[in-house]
Structure 1
């Protein structure tokens, strides 16, 4: 009987050692890799743009990609300023500019630059890595 217990114990020790090593690796990896998250601007940005007798309207659902919970909190803190900057950018667009080929990508890049500039002025760093259109409706 003692032989069986000793044999069982001897066979289970390597498994326990392997399990504890796996936990250490997982904890180490989790601490080293910052978490990427997306801050969605809710509600969507809505406004008008263009010149001439007939105004055009836009509705933009946007998300900002950030890394780290502290950065996410800072971006949420400055959300009113970010929203203002983006509404001003969209309202300055012309109908011809919005209809051009590649206009959405150009607008996305300019919006990202504007957001990063505002956050650099406020926090000293751009904080936002990317800006994504979840939906962009122009009418």
Structure 2
């Protein structure tokens, strides 16, 4: 009989441990990445040339804490609008080489932080990453 009780207790321990883990508070300094989905897609270099130039950008924003993540999600339409406007203004040269894309990434981060500062009073986003960036 004692063996049976010990086996029952041994099986119940992982369930109790999992229930306790769910009750823990989330770390306020936890870094997370918020992906802007779906990817940003549009035209650029609208200089009147007959050739159509298209971009596709998978963007992720690095934030710290659940509050920052929530602020980014709340303001995502405004962030997307700002980034689409920025990408549309680019030239073929600014979308074609690595150095130019890095400058574009930094400008996208700066504009995202400015827009969030206007809306929330703080920049919220620490970094902006291109998970995938295609320009044709």
Counterparts of residues 7-26 of structure 1 (less than 5 Å): none
Residue 47 in 1 paired to residue 42 in 2?
A: yes
1:101, distance to aligned residue in structure 2 (A): 5.0
- Give every structure 1 segment of 4 or more consecutive aligned residues whose post-TM-superposition deviation is greater than 4 Å: none
Q: Distance in 2 between matches of 1:45 and 1:101?
A: 19
Counterparts of residues 93-112 of structure 1 (less than 5 Å): 93-100=90-97, 102-112=99-109
Q: Distance in 1 between matches of 2:90 and 2:53?
A: 10
Cα deviations by residue, 1:101-128 (Å, 9 ceiling, x for unpaired): 5011000000000000000000110000
Cα deviations by residue, 1:70-100 (Å, 9 ceiling, x for unpaired): 1100110000000000000000001122224
Cα deviations by residue, 1:17-74 (Å, 9 ceiling, x for unpaired): xxxxxxxxxx9xx85x610000000000000001222120000000000000011001
Partner in structure 2 of residue 18 of structure 1: none
Residue 79 in 1 paired to residue 76 in 2?
A: yes
| SS of residue in 2 equivalent to 1:126 | coil
Q: Distance in 2 between matches of 1:130 and 1:96?
A: 24
Residue 130 in 1 paired to residue 123 in 2?
A: no
Structure with greater Cα Rg: 1
Q: Distance in 2 between matches of 1:101 and 1:59?
A: 16
| 1:35 corresponds to which of 27, 30, 41 | 30
Q: Which runs of 5+ in 1 are unaligned?
A: 1-26
Q: TM-score, normalised by structure 1?
A: 0.75
Q: TM-score, normalised by structure 2?
A: 0.76
